[in-house]
Amino acid sequence: MTPDWTIARELIDGVALREVRNIVTANGVTTELHREDWGIVGNVEQVIHVSLRGNAISAWHMHDRKTDHLFVVQGHLRAVLYDDRDGSPTRGKLDILHLSPMRPTLLVIPPRVWHGIQNLNATASTFVNYFDEQYAYDNPDDWRLPPDTDEIAYRFG
pLDDT at 2: 80
Q: Which CATH class is domain 16-134?
A: mainly beta
Residues 6+ apart with CB under 8 A from 52: 58, 75, 77, 117, 119, 124, 125, 126, 127
Do residues 132 and 44 lie in contact, with contact meaning Cβ atoms separated by under 8 Å?
Answer: yes
Query: Which residues in the chain land under pLDDT 50?
Result: none
Residue 85: CB atoms within 10 A of its CB come to 19
| Contacts for 105 with CB less than 8 Å, ≥ 6 apart | 17, 18, 19, 20, 71, 72, 97, 99
φ/ψ of residue 37, rounded to 5 = -75, -5
- Structure confidence at residue 133 (pLDDT): 95
Q: What is the pLDDT of residue 42?
A: 87
Locate the domains of the chain by residue range.
16-134
pLDDT of residue 143: 97
Q: Residue 8's pLDDT is what? A: 76
| pLDDT value for 54 | 97
